[in-house]
Amino acid sequence: MLIRPVKPWEKCTMTAASPAVPAVLQALGKSFHPNCFRCVICNETLEGQQFSVDTQNKIYCVKDYHRFLAQTCAICEQLILPNKGSNEIVRVMSMGKSYHMACYEGKSNI
């Protein structure tokens, strides 16, 4: 994500309007008014924040991305979420299924 000066021909991806602000937010190869770059679930503005996108390039805050798009472990059937204090998901994928690392290794206490 980058904030830079507006080019005269640029349009906001969300509003299709020319930005009336001195700078645009550049993300995913597109331009946005900084206030238009928001999570599709909670509508929180994501300027300067970490974000995730789905396969359709819908934009999510990290929390909502994990809540709504997290994989389910094939062994314990719980959501595979980041460890506390992290935004990164660690999982094992085998034969088209997802697993918590501990479940896959047989060490789970879930």
Query: Cα(39)–Cα(53) distance, rounded to whole angstroms?
Result: 9
Name residue 27's beta-bridge partners.
30
Query: Cα(53)–Cα(37) distance, rounded to whole angstroms?
Result: 12
Q: Looking at residue 36, what DSSP letter applies?
A: G
Output 89 or 96, whichever has higher pLDDT: 96
Half-sphere exposure of 30 (CA within 13 A, CB side): 15
Q: Using one digit for the tens of pLDDT, what is the confidence trace for 44-86? A: 999 888 888 888 989 999 889 888 888 899 999 998 888 887 7
pTM: 0.62
All residues at 6 or more sequence positions from 109 whose CB lies less than 8 Å from its CB, including other chains = 102
pLDDT at 8: 55
- Going from N- to C-terminal start, the domains of the chain cover 71-110
